[in-house]
Chain A
Amino acid sequence: MEPGIQQILMIISFSTLLAAMVLALVRLIRGPQSADMIVALDLIASIVMGYILIYAILADKMVYFDIAIVISLISFMGTVAISIYLKHNR
């Protein structure tokens, strides 16, 4: 009984993250400025991190925790790189 409840709640939080992903994708496509797109990409990286962390519980493997570290590193690098590129480009 207990694992069933936990899995149902986990699926609910998966779908919440999926809804957040859809909203961020809408902003990514519609964004009037390029800064909107950078912010949306940053949010999408965080959503993917949350996804992988919840999937680590679902798959019962500790290895997925390392992916979160790597994604947070790459997301920070990408955000700063794109914003510095835009600053020097204009």
Chain B
Amino acid sequence: MKEIIISILLLTGSLFILIAAIGLLRFRDVLSRMHATTKATSFGLLLIVTGVALYFLTVAVFVKAVLVVLFIYLTAPLAAHSISKTTHKSSKRD
């Protein structure tokens, strides 16, 4: 049962990252490409981290997993905001 849950979590996480990559390749604009990558990637990594933490099932791994997820969800919007600010400023100047 545990293996099935872990496998489903890993597969769903990788599928979300693949969807993000398809969006990165297919969308037209920089801002829409960023819209595709930032959110789907964060969610996919959340699923993968949860799967790995369920596989090991120790306290240390759970603490590290919470740390990783918190860090990803704190920094992904900041990075996206920085990139979009740069893009907006440079496109306005052209």
A contacts, CB < 8 Å to B = 2-3, 5-6, 9-10, 12-14, 16-17, 19-21, 23-24, 26-27, 33, 35-36, 38-40, 42-43, 46-47, 49-50, 53-54, 56-57, 62, 65-66, 68-69, 72-73, 75-76, 79-80, 83-84, 86-87, 90
What A residues does B72 contact at CB under 8 A?
A: 72
Instruction: Let me know if A35 and B17 touch, CB within 8 A.
Output: no
Instruction: Let me know if A43 and B37 touch, CB within 8 A.
Output: yes
Contact residue among B37, B79, B85 (Cβ-Cβ distance under 8 Å from A87)? B85
What B residues does A38 contact at CB under 8 A?
A: 83
B73-94: CB near A (< 8 Å → 1, else 0) gives: 0010011001101110110010
Counting residue pairs across A and B whose Cβ atoms lie within 8 Å, the total is 154
The 5 closest A-B pairs by CB, nearest first: A20-B21, A23-B21, A16-B14, A13-B14, A9-B7
